[in-house]
Structure 1
Amino acid sequence: MTTKQPTFLSYPGEMAGIMRKKDWTNSPLGPPAKWPLSLQTALGIILHSKFPMFIWWGPELRCFYNDAYRPSLGKDGKHPSILGEPAAEAWAEIWPIIYPLIKQVLDGGEATWSEDQLVPIYRNASIEDVYWTFSYSRLNNDEGDPFGILVTCVETTEKVLGLRELKETNNLLQFATEAADLGTWDYDPLTGTFMGNARLKSWFGLGPEHETDLGLAISSIAAKDRQRVIESIEAALDYDRQLPYDLEYTIVHPVTGVETIVLVKGRPFFDENRKAYRFSGTMEDITEKSRTRQLMAESEQNLSNLVEQAPVAMCVLKGPQHIVAIANERMIRLWGKPKKQVMHRPIFDGLPDARGQGLEDLLDKVYATGTRFTAQERPVELLRDGAMETVYQNFVYEPLRDSKGEIEGVIAVTIDVTEQVMARLQLEEAEERARLATEAANLGTFDFNIIGATAITSPRFLEIFDADASTPHAELVNRIHPEDRPIRERAHKEALQTGRLFYEARIIHHGGAISWVRIEGRVIVDKAGTPVRIVGTALDFTEHRELEQKREEMIAIASHELRNPMTSLRLALDLLSVLLEPRDQRLLLEKAQEQVRRLIAMTTELLNVSKITAGELDLKPEIVNLHRVIEDSIATAHAGTRSNLFSITGASDINIRADRFRIEQVLVNLLSNAVKYSPRDSEVIIDVSLNSTDIKVCVTDKGIGIEPDKTAMVFKKFTRVDATRGIEGYGLGLYISEQIMRAHGGQIGVESEKGIGSTFWFTLPR
């Protein structure tokens, strides 16, 4: 059976592709399809993220990383060889630095945060000094135990080196920036001059002059913000509008290109003529705050994107009320509610039908303790299409922590397994019903492996074969009477062709007692259509067999006793019919002769059944022309019947070795049935075909047909599938025909459709 590939391996990107191609067979992690759900989910998150991320997993802290992290490894270094390798080997050069941090997190400590830390690594064919801002946070396995580390990191080498260079080349500017918390400015609208303190001038790259032109300062504002600042100044200086001057914008240092994000607040002053004569205010450096806010917004957006694109139903619940902050479409479909009904409100307000099922307590506990909760096949009642419906879910409640490690919500990951659970329950119910039915019928069951010639048997099966659980399969076969073992072998060969196993045989018990067993089964094939197993039942029908044998003996005795006097009576009636002339006497004699004929026919069939049952159906094979046998059979079947049309099609001039009398007996029976059950003057077609091993004869009529569920019964003794139509018959002809074909090494069967007609066929070996 092919194992389905985990969804995260189908993601686009370099690392997902490398993971797909990597042979994990010899890795302690095993094939990805068997990796824990927690690891698969974490890998799905990092592979989708544009933020550099790294994972160490398991006792050996095996390495995984995403495409965003890949550039930090440089060329001719660790990529891609460290994928799936133990951390101590992959990061040997920095192991003394990072292992204490890893151990701290795995031992239950809080997540770490390191900013602009020097961590040299081997890349680009050498050890390089690399600066990082990074965080280590714990990853739990499916059981909720610490089992790995998630690393979110940004390489800050360029930033650190740039700041170092800036500090070395412009100490005065750096000192002025640190000495004052705020920049102050004062603008004279009448002269257009602009003044500011040293901190402000350092942001704008202005010289030490006491005053400068406002246009020069505005030229240092980032182009994307410049027009907005000009319009805000004009609006604030308009006496009639006097809009508040409170805005953020970016200053780009004209020399260094360093960007500073500032929060600016100002107030204009107007004279008695409503003319602005002064405009002053403060300026705060909010670069770090803005970047932090931006990172948080990006982090929130990344989380939202990860949830939306997750391959499973997923949502984020915020706060102690579990407000639905994010939910992907899979989760919305699982809830069965309109999106607007559940979003941005407490989960159980949007899903009132889920209340009172213990889910509230689970979420409260995860939010309060930070301990993950995992459930398998948990039933949940949900209102869908106006009715309560039970759905089965595998889900994980994972605490969501902020940058300080404080719990701010719960991440829920859910897989709907209702179909799988219901299928399993139905299968278990069906197996239980089958078991009860088997026990009620006193049947033994078996499952026979064709390739290995071994069998799994029920206690009743072993009881029927007078064996115990330790008895080998070959010994079970040896319990079959030696004379009946060929019957079993033929039945098994036929089963491989027909898909059905059936035979009856005698079982020899340890004390010498004989019992009769009926074996029935069905052949199971693999995907290639090759038979691999036979499953079936065994029934001890000894008592029934003995009763049937007594009935056959009585029939045989009665048939023999009746045949001789009836033959004499028929001869006497034949002589009387010649001697007597009066019409009324002749009519009575004809009726008497007809009744005698019917008695002789019935006695003949009973004698045939008796011979078949006793195994005394002797054959006298000879070389005969099949076409001539068919013509003679048509003549016999046609005599004294209505004028049906008989057509012979297919192969002709075929010689066969068979008992002519018995083959004609079968053909006459099939043709007579075709005439009896067909409309007057309808066509009966006899078709002959052959292949490399068999000759096949088909008799097709356009008669009343047979119900599909009755076709298997037509070859049983004393069976008539349509006895209510007043058509003569004893239900023995087809049974006798089947036994004749078996004796010839052939087969017989029927294909029929009610109201359309039937095709009875038989085969003979070439």
Structure 2
Amino acid sequence: MAPAAKADTSEQYRFLQGCGVMGALISKHNWNDTPLGSIDTWPASLKVLLSTSLKAAVPMVLMWGDDLTFFYNDAYRPILGNEGKHPSVLGTKAENVWPEGWAHVKPLLDQVYTLGASVTFQDTLVPVYRDGKMQDVYWSFGYSPARDEDGNIRGIFIVCDETTQRVTKLHNVVERTGSPIVIYKGEELIIEEINQAALDQWQVRREDIVGKPFTEALPEMKDQSFPELLLNVYRTGETYYGYEVPTHFRRSNGEIETVYYNFEYSPYKEANGNTSGVIGVAIDVTKSVVAGKATEAALLESEQRFRTTFECAAVGIAELALDGTWRLINDRLCSIVGYSREELLSRTFQDITHPDDLDEDLWYVQQLLEGAMNSYVLKKRYLHRDGSTVWINLTCSVVRDAAGKPRHFVSVIEDITQQQEAEERLRASERKLRDSEASFRQLADAMPQLVWVAEVDGHTSYYNSRVSEFAGARMQEDGSWLWQGMMHPEDLDRTDKAWTQAIATGQDYVVEHRVKMADGQYRWFLSRAYPFRDENGKVLKWFGTATNIDDQKKQEHVLEQKVAERTKELEQLNRALALSNQELEQFAYVASHDLQEPLRKIKAFGDMLANNYKEQLGTSGADLVGRMQNASTRMSTLIEDVLSFSRISSRKEAPELVDTTLVLKETIQDLETAIFEKNAMIVQEPLQPIVGSKHQMRQLFQNLLSNALKFSKGDVQPVISITSKVVAGKDAGFKNQQPRPDEMYQLIEVKDNGIGFEPQYAGKIFQIFQRLHGRSEYEGSGVGLAIVQKVVMNHGGMIEAESSAGEGALFRMLFPLAQKNT
């Protein structure tokens, strides 16, 4: 590559300093053979204009003198093409530079020379020859007169820009678009560009309308509103939207056809921001308009849905102008920042952004405008109307027009103040937790137990200072501890299974095991660990202790030995008791048989004396014989009662589910004669079933009812009630006995209105052979209530009696409640 040309630094070339490559080329050019002559003869006006144009960053050309000698700057060089014209055209006549386009350019130059007024053109087609071929090139340029020191026009000053790429791209976009698109230029609304869709809609040919004013191409439009609308957009630069606007076309057959359009007229702007025309985009909605109210209702519903979604959204939604002005906002955004809709619409987002967050936000906005990104998400702060700070999560997107230019921003604002405050509280809690952890370690080291902490996966992460008392504990590189070496081999598997199960289920860990101490001895410890959970129940850590229970285990061992010895003694006593019961049952049988046999003979002989020797015995003899017979009868009854009591005490029957209501009913039937003789009234409630012996329950009811009938008042009708209810042990109301508080029982009460007894005898009446009345007053052996008590005890229950003399008696019996599946 050749070195770049350097500008001459002599005084006469000073005006070319800093003028780039073209300045250097001008200083080296041989001007003596040109109409301008040597540089030192050039007028000051030429040097000033030339220096100005050469330093410009935009493409500029200066044509000077009658021959229009051609100068251009560095920015203009690419326009000359990659081959041929640069730098050979420097200093030549202008008509030699672009001879192929001179016919277009010359009239414009003459106009500037003649009138002395500047002219500008946008996207003008001027064909040129470059890169070895003719090319259609579009230009936007301005021609201005270049004057000398006396104010005379000596040349043309041109600022130009090639817009071929943009115009071509626009033409392609317009042509590919399926909707009708037309570009109108200037006040005359010259049709500069029209796509095939528009040609089809208008039913015209391109060559018949391009380059003509709108109303000349379509005369029927003169009396319609479109020319006025287009001119208003062109003059004001404000976009106009039309919806379902009827458009009347005169077709080739002379008939008028009405077509309905939704259309947009938007200003067509040049790179410098000036409006040079209008772009019209239309959509044929004739079918939907003709469809009528159904479509209109659907559109209205769609709009309403959008509005409802917009206004009822749980987050703030806004549309903002490119300068940050709020243009469209919903109620939620107003509530977030505390401003009314009117107040917020008169402000910008910059006005309510926290100063510390504004620069970052503006940087992102600039990235959107430059096209570096389409959206961004930012956590920032707004200033609430009451002066407080509101934390928000901002999602901002840029909306661009068809040309890709930013039109406005759409922002979604989520109030995360509570979340942010929660995070602050969490950080504060973490700091507090760290402080608490230090306190915990101090407290743990002061405890007499081994204290430890394990992570959620079960690895031990902390031991207090007591760990030094144990053998084999060591910390690994990751900070966790190994403890298997501390365990007694016989306890290791059991301990590991218990810990594994606790980790898997989240249940408490409790295990007793032997641990090796620093002195080499194993000692018993009770290890416990409880899971620490978060508010959702998830296990976060395990906190555990190991308590030395070696002394207790030794005591337990001694106690177990004593229990084993005592158990052996009790087994021997039980065997002896069983043998004794067996002997007692044999004795009872023998006693019953051997004692009853003499009594039967005594009674039989007494009957013979009373019947066969009545006259010989006389009155006193008959009385003695009667007494002898009564005594033998009582003795026989006593023997039977003792035998019954013995059998209840010694004989164990297989338990069954006893229908106590039925047993009571049968017992009442057995006592029917006695009940009738006493004119007694029995009040009976249904009873709960009992697991036990049906025979024994019959004996219980028979003895209680017989006693109630026996000890009734002679002048009062006996009333006996049998009631039942289910109660908890703590609510049973027993005075001298304590049932299990939480166990459920059936409470059966048998109450009469008989003679009763003194309260001090309430405990004695259940003793065998205990009588409170003489035999002359009331019959009986004194065994009946002893049998009742024995039956209750055999069924796992308890009994109490309550009475006062002359007030009747109440017997309260408590039986374990039978399970429903028994």
Q: TM-score range by the shorter chain?
A: 0.3 to 0.5
Q: Kindly name which structure, 1 or 2, has the bigger radius of gyration based on alpha carbons.
A: 2
Task: State the TM-score, normalizing by the size of structure 2.
Answer: 0.32
